[in-house]
Amino acid sequence: MTTKAERLEQFSVFLRNRPGVVADLCTALTEQHIDIRAVSVLDTIDIGILRMIVDDPEKAKSALETSGAAYMVASVVGLAIKNTPGGFTNVVRTMADHGVNIEYVYASAISGSEHTLGVFRVDDVDKALDIEFP
């Protein structure tokens, strides 16, 4: 059985590196009934970058603009990865074999679940979407 990836809109939100900023942003999204499906936070000394996938990108854009948050939207690849030894390896090996460069990825799995959502920023989203993954 093979799996196909899907195109997702990823938000990169630029935040001050101080207590409560992530909570405030999440509260603004929750108040608009927006579900955060995947999230990653990268910090620097002064600025943090919160990357996220949400269930309703249009509502998220509105909520972010209303809150005054600085953000960018980029196309990324979402893929269900088997939660088994080698599941992640099979995905990244398949991408490499098809000449797709992974710029970054974030994923996590809950013990006992069959799959996790992997979010991949790649150099060629369209090429990655054409791949059939094991």
Length of the chain as a residue count? 134
What tokens were used for 80? 């269900």
Specify the domain boundaries for CATH 3.30.2130.10 within the chain: 10-72, 76-133
Residue 23 has a pLDDT of 94
Residue 109 has a pLDDT of 85
> How many helices (DSSP H) and strands (DSSP E) are in the chain?
4, 8
Long-range contacts (CB closer than 8 Å, 24 or more residues apart) made by 99-108: 99/127, 100/124, 100/127, 100/128, 100/131, 106/38, 106/40, 106/51, 107/38, 107/81
Residue 1 has a pLDDT of 57
What tokens were used for 54? 């949400």
- Nearest CA-CA partner of 67 in 39, 42, 35, 32: 32
Residue 17 has a pLDDT of 86
CATH 3.40.50.2300 fits 76-133, yes or no: no
Name the CATH code of domain 10-72 (choices 3.90.1150.10, 3.40.50.1820, 3.40.50.1100, 3.30.2130.10). 3.30.2130.10
Ranges of the chain with pLDDT below 70: 1-2
